[in-house]
Structure 1
């Protein structure tokens, strides 16, 4: 990369919630003529296909939130090594800006940027500022948020926040604004069950039991696409066997955009990327927040959707056969309720998030360029 190139570094954790928005931003930046570098931890080696036209650099990192003093010390040492690796790489890359997407793998590049005076922009996917972004927030020039209200520690940090929304995959964007067709009469009812990037065992345990015990007039209309963990697939398939439900099971769906387009109701976790895609698609949802999510952010994400009338929520401890059946029977017997929820979901959808985030980068990179030019003239 030449010294005069428009280089931007994206620093991201390894889970889908961090990677998918980083990917969407990378696509937008490529269109605008930027050279994009993704800096992440060892899991980044699998991202070459997800990030075409992006250079992937792996740096060491670790999570100090692990149990045991020895493990914590190893994590801190790994982060320290990662910061030095990041500084070395950035001396060569000379990025105009660094964008951190949270997660501990994003800390070394983001901290390196702060120590080198490189403009640092943070993106927070959830309704509460995550631990890494909270630690880095004092060094950030701007904090882009996915929700119009995001919890933060103090007013100084809140003042840096600007709402952009959460960038979603380009394949989902064309679904925005499409009319929701409710499942009335005897037409099929299409349900999409997603458990985040790796599935969710509780959905595999409860949802099939509920759907296969529904009244036959509902059960016979169900067309279910359900994501499962690999170890749960056989059990889930056996539960549906012999029922009236038409079902498709997979460890991973490559055509989520198509499934979202067709579905009448999504039953999912409430991770930020999942919620962003559901709202862009304008679909009603039954949300089951992951109870062990950091800072309980999935519950707060879900509460935001529920407050707007876009979703219903069942906390994981309350996700019983009886409660799920009660809610599903009501929703499926009242398609007008699904239609209202779909409209509310669509009102939350943000299709310009990647553009708004790229606009922030344009602003800071232009400022940095002007400062450098003025400095050279003065010299």
Structure 2
């Protein structure tokens, strides 16, 4: 049985142990959470996509779902989203559940820097989460910036493929998708985790030069002064974005799923 982590995996892992079914753990966060540490003590094999210094934990590249991989070049992806294929795109995402503070930051940024966004021909993709996205849609409209604003995108790969720059949370899945699609990104880790695991998730990409980690100060004005300054600088610098994209490419292939599948088949 392959456990992919989190508290929902623990009861199933215990059932596998009781039935004497071999148990394998895939850890995707740094540091691993309580459930993953508990499962690890009962697993026959442990694989981790995060940098975890624990004996017996084998490091593999990130695991990325197929729908989160760009299925064409930037022009193709922009066209499928109804955007101008030849204009740059800023992607804002709080991951699948969305993020109120990331949404508020995006709205504040659009208002404060509308002139620059329009002058640069920028477009936006904004994934807001399940709450009412009318305020965020209206913020881009007031700024005069063409934007696709949705609660959720099934084909998230088109969003990454269309993007020249992203603002994102730093959950394991988001970090893996940034790596896989080579999108220069300003990460705003979730601010309420005591172990700061989202910040730790993003650090390898930042150390490689492919991303910047900004603190989510929760307050939109404070985020505008910090993360907003970083985003504005990157919007103005195609050369730096190109360098960041090259740095992400240098991290190597994102083939963790294939490696894990081969390992499971070899052990079967």
Structure-2-length-normalised TM-score? 0.86
SS at match of 1:209: helix
| Distance change (3 Å), C-alpha of 1:165 and 1:250 | same
CA separation in 1, counterparts of 2:66 and 2:228?
34
Alignment correspondent of 2:9 = 106
Secondary structure (helix, strand or coil) at the match of 2:13 reads helix
Aligned partners of 1:238, 1:292: CA distance in 2, in Å? 28
**Quick one: distance in 2 between partners of 1:125 and 1:334?**
32
1:140-289 to structure 2, matched below 5 A, reads 140-147=43-50, 149-151=51-53, 158-173=54-69, 188-214=87-113, 216-220=115-119, 221-289=121-189
CA drift of 1:173 comes to 4.5
Contact in 2 for aligned 1:219/1:245 (Cα 8 Å): yes
* Cα distance in 2 between the residues matched to 1:172 and 1:280: 9
Per the alignment, residue 216 of structure 2 pairs with 316
> Is the 2:183–2:245 contact (alpha carbons within 8 Å) kept by the matching residues of 1?
yes
Is the contact made by 2:7 and 2:35 (CA closer than 8 Å) also made in structure 1? yes
| 2:234 maps to 1:334 | no
Instruction: Specify the SS of the correspondent of 1:358.
Output: helix
- CA drift of 1:232 comes to 4.2
- In 1, Cα distance between the equivalents of 2:207 and 2:114? 30
Is the 1:286–1:313 Cα contact (8 Å) retained in structure 2? yes
Q: Which runs of 5+ in 2 are unaligned?
A: 76-85
State the distance in 2 between where 1:170 and 1:326 align: 33
**Matched position secondary structure for 1:166:** coil
- Measured against aligned partners, the alpha-carbon deviations of 1:270-312 in whole angstroms (never above 9, x if no partner) come to 0111111111111100100002236321011122221111101
Q: How many residues align?
A: 254
Q: Do 2:71 and 2:158's aligned partners in 1 also have CA atoms closer than 8 Å?
A: no
Q: 2:196 aligns with which of 269, 280, 296?
A: 296
**Cα distance in 2 for residues equivalent to 1:101 and 1:294:** 22
Deviation at 1:175, TM superposition (A): 5.9
How far apart are residue 204 of structure 1 and its match? 1.2
Partner residue, 1:372: none
User: 3-state DSSP class of the match of 1:114?
Assistant: helix
Paired with 2:8 and 2:194, the residues of 1 have a C-alpha distance of: 15
The equivalent of 1:46 in structure 2 is none
- How far apart are 1:172 and its partner, in Å? 4.2
Judged with a 3 Å threshold, the aligned counterparts in structure 2 of structure 1 residues 170 and 215 are, in CA distance, closer, same or farther, namely closer
- Alpha-carbon separation, structure 2, partners of 1:115 and 1:167: 28
**Cα drift, residue 363 of structure 1:** 2.3
CA contact (8 A) 1:101 1:122 kept: yes
Contact 2:69 2:158 in 1 (8 A): no
Cα distance, 1:104–1:285 mapped onto 2, change above 3 Å: same
**Structure with bigger gyration radius:** 1
Q: Does the 8 A contact of 2:130 with 2:152 survive in 1?
A: no
* CA–CA separation in structure 2 for the residues paired with 1:127 and 1:110: 20
CA distance in 2, matches of 1:301, 1:285: 13
- Which ranges of structure 1 fall in alignment gaps of 5 or more residues? 1-97, 152-157, 181-186, 366-379
